Amino acid sequence: MADLSGVFTDGAAAYGRLLEVFIDGHWWVVGDALENVGKCTKRLGANAYPQLYGGMSSSLRGSSPKAAGYAKPTKEVEQRFRD
């Protein structure tokens, strides 16, 4: 116990490594969160304003297959659940 300087420096080095990992981990989490917010914002913007993001130049056509004219049902609804 005559030389306590090693205990202090080893403790400070361990604390520094712990702090480095802690801060680095938090920056990683914050960076991922901000990246996801940016992607979500871009996706919402593309859905709301497709003309700004290279989508359809006309207005939204609607989600109904009957109105949009894409899907044509071939059987009645009850029959689909019986198959």
Each residue of 41-60: pLDDT tens digit?
888 888 888 777 776 545 55
| Residue 45, pLDDT score | 85
Report d(CA 16, CA 25) in Å as an integer.
14
Cα-flanking dihedrals φ and ψ of residue 73, to 5°? Answer: -65, 140
Q: What is the mean pLDDT of residues 63-74?
A: 63
Question: How far is the C-alpha of 68 from the C-alpha of 47, rounded, in Å?
Answer: 17
pTM listed for this prediction: 0.42
Between CA 39 and CA 27 the distance in angstroms is 18
